[in-house]
Amino acid sequence: MTKIALIDDEPIFLDIYSRVLGKKYLVLTAFDGEGGLELIEKDKPELVLVDIRMPKMDGLEMIRQMKGKGLMNMPVIVLTNLVEDEKVSQAIELGVKDYIAKEKTTAAEILAKVSEALKK
């Protein structure tokens, strides 16, 4: 089964996305960038979903560290409520494949974006 790392500090979004994606994928979770980086290094998921704003280490710093460690060999999708924020542009510059607007994206759209990212 395809492994997906889901990193978000908000329990409600971890629960929602885990339930949506868990129907088709094995979902591994972490609550912050530090834990997410450890999870990625240990479990080698095929795709990463990461929130931009988190405590300890935010999503952008986690992505920078992934790049530095040679861990950007899988698609990364950022989760955000900051659709028009500069941070989304920074994430794209760092090599992320797409973003998901957390409160505006349906379950079907989430599955479609993940499926599309895994095909590339």
Q: Are 32 and 7 in contact (CB under 8 A)?
A: yes
Whole-prediction pTM value?
0.91
pLDDT tens per residue across span 58-106: 999 999 999 999 988 999 999 887 656 777 778 888 888 888 888 788 8
Domain count, the chain: 1
Q: What is the domain-level CATH number for residue 19? A: 3.40.50.2300
Of all residues in the chain, what percent carry a pLDDT higher than 90? 63
Domain range enclosing 97: 3-119
